[in-house]
């Protein structure tokens, strides 16, 4: 830790990106949030295994955002005005805010999120500009917390390569937007298959 750094909390979904960040950043704490997404049970199992592997204390939080949600993570209906099929309105803002509150409770100073290059093309809450604004918003509040997206300038493939993780760990990851059993036919499943193929694995 550097002076003023009281520890980092990683938002760990159990997907390839946040799992790679757990390996690269070695945070001090992990947080899994069940916000009502359909694959929550599978994601929580994956996050629990990843946290255990890295010796990360894991907090799990139930935060039912279904009345506010939309997109494939919620149901099969198309959200009017959605920038992408999986878009859940303001999701990352909610997740970072919840992460900051948990970090504050535990005396930690920064929230890490596994956003990667390309996410910003699918929804505005995956852009550098969004995190810069959210960081400023956190810093002006009590606690002086910050948020960082350390993978935002790298693709998932680059992040996984940098993590050095192999099939034994990446095999646990969960990225399906629809269900606890991967559907094989959603942007999350397509992405995970692409990333595992690039790493020389069978998805
Ligand atoms: Zn899927």
Quote the tokens at residue 52.
């255990």
Alpha-carbon gap, residue 22 to 28, rounded angstroms:
10
Residue 187 CA to ligand 1 centre (angstroms): 7
Residue 81 CA to ligand 1 centre (angstroms): 22
What global pTM score does this model have? 0.96
pLDDT at position 78 over 90: no
Alpha-carbon gap, residue 10 to 99, rounded angstroms:
8
Residue 143 CA to ligand 1 centre (angstroms): 38
Mean local confidence (pLDDT), 108-113: 98
* Nearby residues for ligand 1 (ion, Cβ within 5 Å): 176, 178, 183, 186, 189
Residue 62 CA to ligand 1 centre (angstroms): 22
> What pLDDT does 202 receive?
77
Residue 67's pLDDT band (cuts 50, 70, 90): very high
Alpha-carbon gap, residue 180 to 176, rounded angstroms:
7
Residue 73 CA to ligand 1 centre (angstroms): 10
Report the share of the chain in percent with pLDDT over 90. 94
Residue 2's pLDDT band (cuts 50, 70, 90): very low
Residue 108 CA to ligand 1 centre (angstroms): 34
Radius of gyration of the chain (CA): 16
Fold of 8-198: Rossmann fold (3.40.50)
Considering the chain, what is the average pLDDT of its residues?
95
Strand partners, 58: 30
């Amino acid at each position: 830790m550097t002076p003023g750094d009281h520890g980092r909390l990683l938002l760990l979904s159990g997907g390839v990106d946040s799992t790679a960040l757990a390996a690269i950043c070695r945070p001090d704490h992990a947080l899994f949030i069940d916000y009502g997404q359909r694959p929550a049970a599978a994601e929580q199992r994956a996050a629990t295994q990843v946290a255990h592997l890295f010796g990360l204390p894991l907090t799990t939080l139930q935060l039912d955002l279904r009345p506010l949600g939309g997109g494939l993570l919620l149901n099969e209906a198309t959200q009017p005005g959605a920038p992408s099929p999986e878009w859940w309105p303001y999701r990352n803002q909610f997740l970072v805010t919840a992460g900051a509150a948990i970090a504050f409770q535990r005396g930690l100073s920064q929230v890490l999120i596994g956003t990667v290059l390309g996410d910003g093309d699918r929804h505005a809450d995956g852009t550098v500009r969004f995190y810069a604004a959210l960081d400023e918003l956190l810093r002006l509040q009590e606690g002086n917390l910050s948020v960082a997206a350390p993978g935002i300038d790298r693709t998932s493939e680059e992040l996984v390569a940098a993590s050095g993780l192999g099939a034994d760990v990446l095999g646990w990851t969960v990225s399906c937007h629809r269900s606890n059993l991967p559907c094989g036919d959603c942007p999350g499943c397509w992405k995970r298959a692409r990333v595992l193929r690039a790493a020389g694995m069978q998805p």
